[in-house]
Structure 1
Amino acid sequence: MKLSADLKAFSDRIGHRFQTPDLLIRALTHGSISTDTRPDNQRLEFLGDRVLGLVMAEAILAADKAASEGQLAPRFNALVRKETCADVAREVDLGAVLKLGRSEMMSGGRRKQALLGDAMEAVIAAVYLDAGFEAARAMITRLWGDRIATVEEDARDAKTALQEWAQARKMPPPSYTEVARDGPDHAPEFTIEARLANGEAATAKARSKRAAEQDAARALLDRVEG
């Protein structure tokens, strides 16, 4: 099977030419449009998650030979989490080539973080099965780019750090409140307020509650520490 023009363009964006085009098509097929003869990408997603994990574990070990396991774990988590996979997927415009059922398309599936993250992992597996581990590693390293070098900042768990700051001062844990939700149902943005018992507070907006809570905690931590 030959790839369509849009899939060829996507292959160029990720920097891999498929010897078995069916692998890429399967990696981009969501369950909402799968059939008995057209399987979805879930099994590839499972494999791609493991390939990505190995590549990132090797990368952070090589980048910091003195780091302890306790230092490496949050860096690893930051590099392989679904939000990061979705960010990479957006950079290569993966959403434009996702194969979705009508209902999923109508609900904004091409922009959904979970779908993009899952499909990015499936694409990694497709490259791995098509050309082996070295090809998959080369693509991952290229697409993740500077994230690997700057992961220490991304890995800092702001909510944990803020809670530790509060506990050190005999305060109860900070509270997190959703103060606004904007945008359509399929692509909402959440505004979260982080507040300490002493009255200090900060807000942040993001596409997921988790990300908004982390951003609000980081903003509040910067305020009270600075």
Structure 2
Amino acid sequence: MNELALSRLSNRLGHVFSDSTLLQQALTHRSAHRQRNNERLEFLGDAQLGQIIARWLFDHFPDASEGQLTRMRAALVRGQTLAEVGRELDLGSCLVLGSGEMKSGGHRRDSILADTLEAVIGAIVLDAGAEACRERVLVWFASRLTQISPQSSGKDAKTRLQELLQARQKPVPEYDVMAVHGQAPKQQFEVRCQLAAHDQAFTASGASRRRAEQAAATLALTWLETEYSEDRQND
């Protein structure tokens, strides 16, 4: 990967690596290099991410039970959420993949994006320490952290979106498959979530129709909660 692409990614991450080889390794899938790939960094990043999110939830929800904290953490560190954050950081465009993964659209696959995000987290820990890593993770997850609560953590995005609209007596969202890329079992579904009452549509992709719908619902929910929050402030 060229230096310009790494520099642009560093800007998106909000961290300039002292050792750029750590970032390069974090972006290298095992299909591209059997020995020097991101699997060990992924292991480290997974543990670091869980600790960061657990501590944040512990500090911000002092009255939440262990079960509620566990469910909130699970919602924030699950593969689908990590893949969404990876897409927001455009990790897919920087992945180093083997030819087979490149041809099958590996740069769009949820599992690969999620693993790569964890590897990047591990790389930042090694490059700058746990505190610098914590700051970056909390920035990347900021919008999701503001939405999470003990009450909402047990519900998926589609359910929460529908309940929010129904509470406002608005039509429920409609989901349409816009495209299917690749061949089974490595397909990518592109789904649009239409909010008719607001004349808004949100498109996302996933390794299954259900995952794509959930991803699109998450985008719609984020937008809708912001809109309703602004409405309350203006009242």
- Decide: shared fold, TM above 0.5: yes
Q: 2:105 aligns with which of 93, 98, 108?
A: 108
Q: Please give the secondary structure, in 2, of the residue aligned with 1:183.
A: strand
Q: Deviations over 1:156-196 (max 9, x none)?
A: 245xx9xxxxxxxxxxxxxxxxxx995023443399xxxxx
| Pair 1:90-2:93 in alignment | no
The aligned length equals: 180
Matches within 5 A, 1:21-100: 21-36=20-35, 39-100=36-97
Q: Decide whether the 8 Å contact of 1:60 with 1:72 is kept in 2.
A: yes
Quickly say closer, same or farther: Cα 1:145–1:73, change in 2 above 3 A. Answer: same
Counterparts of 1:58 and 1:16, CA distance in 2: 22
- Call closer, same or farther: CA 1:209–1:184 in 2, change over 3 Å: closer
Conservation of the 8 A alpha-carbon contact between 2:68 and 2:153: no
For 2:146, the equivalent position in structure 1 comes to 149
Task: Report what 2:123 is aligned to.
Answer: 126
Deviating 4+ runs (over 4 angstroms): 212-215
Structural mapping, 1:198-209, within 5 Å: 207=206, 208=208
Indicate how the Cα distance of structure 1 residues 6 and 69 shifts in structure 2: closer, same or farther if over 3 A, else same. Answer: same
**1:46 Cα deviation from its structure 2 partner:** 0.7
Q: State how far apart, in whole Å, the 1-side matches of 2:152 and 2:19 are.
A: 36
Note if contact 1:33-1:100 (Cα within 8 Å) is conserved in structure 2: yes
> Distance between the aligned counterparts of 1:154 and 1:90, measured in 2?
24
Q: Match for residue 211 of structure 1?
A: 211
The structural deviation recorded for 1:26 is 0.4
> Residue 6 of structure 1: CA displacement?
0.4
Quote how far apart the aligned CAs of 1:149 are. Answer: 1.9
- On the 8 A contact 2:125/2:132 being kept in 1, the answer is yes
Structure 2 residue runs of 5 or longer lacking an equivalent are 160-176, 192-203, 216-235
Give TM-score scaled by structure 1 length.
0.71
Identity percentage over the alignment?
40
SS at match of 1:17: coil
